[in-house]
């Protein structure tokens, strides 16, 4: 019994020593202004408290920038990190010039996504993978999915009147059905769709989980759900290669273009592991952010009647120009300038991804602060989007801010540089189509006033934005 007590005591003391050692900043970081907060937990509690407020981490960042400047150190979410903001910092971190930074995923994200994910590649390997998967997500590549997205938006909205609608839940289902159909031709309903959605929800919830990979933990469940998702993909890939089925979708294009028996060079081929890891990457990247963006657009439009009226006029004019009651067309999607500004202004105010996490791959200097190789660096996007020098009265919803081109790196709604969101065109297409049918057919009002935000990596309304919908 005594031996067991001693053994447990040693484990506890070792864990405490490890955590204290991890919390202490390296001596080189002493020159960086800032405060690491409490031992081990750092400033995590105040960070999360601010994160859940309507302004998000903006007030957390602003207080520290006023005290320390544009570059400061902190300890949040188990990481010693250097926060930096401003257009110059954005240029350095997002262009990755001369390979000075790399993406810095949390442990759980690395475990779930797989080693060959686009998000885990750097340098030439990243460029190659991005090139291979980019074509189906191009504007021309998306045309063949337009009619499905259009029909699904109409069918989804048909179910809204006469009941309480949780916009975030509906947007999540809509975007996931779109991605499922694009990737592997999943029908909007049916057993395969349900399995697909159930596994994806578990995977998505595991990304910000504790780094504990044992049965019963969120991370463990996420990895198991990923394995089930990969089993579905393995079955589909096998059938496609053996000509048991053929579909014109994202998976088919990758199999056809990059399969091993083509005449393409080795540099233009993907292994099955790369196929699966990057299909999952596109699922994750294309679902959460688009879901949140669509939810915020609907919320901000209701809260800003003048913007809603002008946007509705744009869409009613488009609808009125058609003959014989025809539906939305591909060419009309490219004729929604004010709606595009509304989307941009939504992404600016909501700042769905409040920071971009990177790791220094080389030593470099910014604003007089020397950054060392291996340090965790977070680009504070919220402060860039709320800079009054670029966006006067930054908390006001004003789509006219985008009437004129902005300075480079002052708006990062879809990121920038070589890691700009690869699904940017798909996200815009989904939102434009859905908003068109919503404003042409319905008016809506919220069932409760709650501006608090879910404390997750992707910012979204805590209450999922419940509304009641009525025909115009």
Which residues have CB under 8 Å from 117's CB, separation 6+? 277, 278, 280, 281
Residues 6+ apart with CB under 8 A from 126: 118, 418, 419
Binding-site residues, in ranges, read 421
Task: Kindly report each contact of residues 237-246 with a partner whose C-beta sits within 8 Å and lies 24 or more positions away, as own/partner.
Answer: 237/272, 237/275
* Residue with tokens 């404003």, as numbered in its chain: 439
Joined tokens for residue 72? 């400061």
Beta-carbon count within 10 A of 28 CB: 12
The residues, any chain, with a CB within 8 Å of residue 37's CB and separated by 6 or more, are: 43, 44, 46, 74, 75
DSSP assigned state of 264:
S
Q: What is the DSSP letter of 415?
A: B
What residues does 445 pair with on adjacent strands?
A: 468
Q: Who's near 317: CB < 8 A, 6+ residues apart?
A: none
* Residues composing the chain: 472
122 CB burial (10 A radius; 0-12, 13-18, 19+): middle
The contacts of residue 244 (CB under 8 Å, 6+ apart) are 238
Beta bridge partners of 34: 73
Give the residue from 171, 450, 428 showing the smallest Cα distance to 298: 171
Q: State the Cα–Cα distance between residues 469 and 472, nearest whole angstrom.
A: 9
Which residue ranges are tagged as binding site for heme? 421
End-to-end CA distance of the chain: 74
What is the rounded CA–CA span in Å between residue 264 and residue 129?
A: 15
Contact between 168 and 291 (Cβ < 8 Å): yes
């Amino acid at each position: 019994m005594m031996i067991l007590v001693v053994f447990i005591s040693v484990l506890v003391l070792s864990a405490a020593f490890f955590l204290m050692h991890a919390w202490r900043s390296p001596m080189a970081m002493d020159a960086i202004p800032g405060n690491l907060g409490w031992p081990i937990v750092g400033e995590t509690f105040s960070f999360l408290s601010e994160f859940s407020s309507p302004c998000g981490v903006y007030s957390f960042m602003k207080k520290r920038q006023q005290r320390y400047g544009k570059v400061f150190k902190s300890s949040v979410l188990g990481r010693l990190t250097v926060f930096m903001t401003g257009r110059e910092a954005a240029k350095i971190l997002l262009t990755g010039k001369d390979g000075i930074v790399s993406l810095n995923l949390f442990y759980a994200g690395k475990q779930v996504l797989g080693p060959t994910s686009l998000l885990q590649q750097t340098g030439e390997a990243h460029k190659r993978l991005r090139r291979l998967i980019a074509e189906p997500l191009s504007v021309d590549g998306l045309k063949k999915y337009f009619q499905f997205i259009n029909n699904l938006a109409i069918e989804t909205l048909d179910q809204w009147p006469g009941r309480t609608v949780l916009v975030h839940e509906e947007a999540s289902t809509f975007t996931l059905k779109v991605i499922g159909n694009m990737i592997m031709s999943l029908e909007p309903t049916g057993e395969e769709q349900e399995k697909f959605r159930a596994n994806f929800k578990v995977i998505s919830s595991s990304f910000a989980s504790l780094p504990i990979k044992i049965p019963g933990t969120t991370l463990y469940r996420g990895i198991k759900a990923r394995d089930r998702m990969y089993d579905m993909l393995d079955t589909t890939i096998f059938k496609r290669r053996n000509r048991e089925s053929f579909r014109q979708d994202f998976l088919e294009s990758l199999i056809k273009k990059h399969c091993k028996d083509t005449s393409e060079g080795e540099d233009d081929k993907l292994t099955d592991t790369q196929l699966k890891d990057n299909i999952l990457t596109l699922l994750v990247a294309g679902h959460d952010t688009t879901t949140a963006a669509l939810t915020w657009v609907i919320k901000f439009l209701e809260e800003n009647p003048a913007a809603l009226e002008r946007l509705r006029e744009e869409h009613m004019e488009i609808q009125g120009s058609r003959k014989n009651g025809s539906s939305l067309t591909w060419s009309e999607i490219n004729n929604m300038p004010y709606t595009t500004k509304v989307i941009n202004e939504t992404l600016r105010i909501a700042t769905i991804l409040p920071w971009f996490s990177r790791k220094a791959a080389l030593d470099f200097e910014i604003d007089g602060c020397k950054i060392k190789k291996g340090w965790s660096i977070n680009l504070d996007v919220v402060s860039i989007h709320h800079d009054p020098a670029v966006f006067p009265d930054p908390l006001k919803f004003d789509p006219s801010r985008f009437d004129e081109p902005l300075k480079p790196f002052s708006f990062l709604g879809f990121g920038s540089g070589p890691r700009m969101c690869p699904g940017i065109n798909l996200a815009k297409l989904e939102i434009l189509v859905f908003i068109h049918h919503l404003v042409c057919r319905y008016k809506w009002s919220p069932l409760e006033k709650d501006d608090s935000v879910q404390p997750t990596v992707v910012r979204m309304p805590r209450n999922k934005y419940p509304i009641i919908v009525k025909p115009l």
